[in-house]
Amino acid sequence: MKITVAGIAKEYPQGLTVRKLIESENVETPEYVTVTINDDFVESGAFDSTVLNEGDNVEFLYFMGGGR
């Protein structure tokens, strides 16, 4: 199936979960990543059970604190 990951169209097998995608994409500090699928946020507790579908658009986001 084709999905878009961080703006790049990629081919992945059917049944891919968010957790497996994070591992496949070697996401840096996966414990701090926020994931959206088609602009909807996915709860981190649902990464193992959320299955991606053909045509999904996935983004990995990191929220940074700090500033003055």
The pTM score is 0.90
Return the beta strands (E) in the chain as ranges.
2-5, 8-11, 34-37, 40-42, 57-61
| Residue 38 zone, left/alpha/beta (φ > 0; ψ -120 to 50; rest) | left
Q: pLDDT at position 63, please?
A: 78
Which is higher by pLDDT, 23 or 67?
A: 23
Q: Encode pLDDT of 27-61 as tens digits.
A: 989 999 999 999 999 999 999 999 999 999 999 99
pLDDT at 67 over 70: no
Number of other residues whose CB lies within 10 A of the CB of residue 53: 11
Which bin fits 18, alpha (ψ -120 to 50), beta or left (φ > 0)? alpha
Average pLDDT over residues 7-18: 98
Q: Give me the domains of the chain, ranges plus CATH numbers.
A: 2-61 (3.10.20.30)
Q: Find the mean pLDDT for residues 7-11.
A: 97
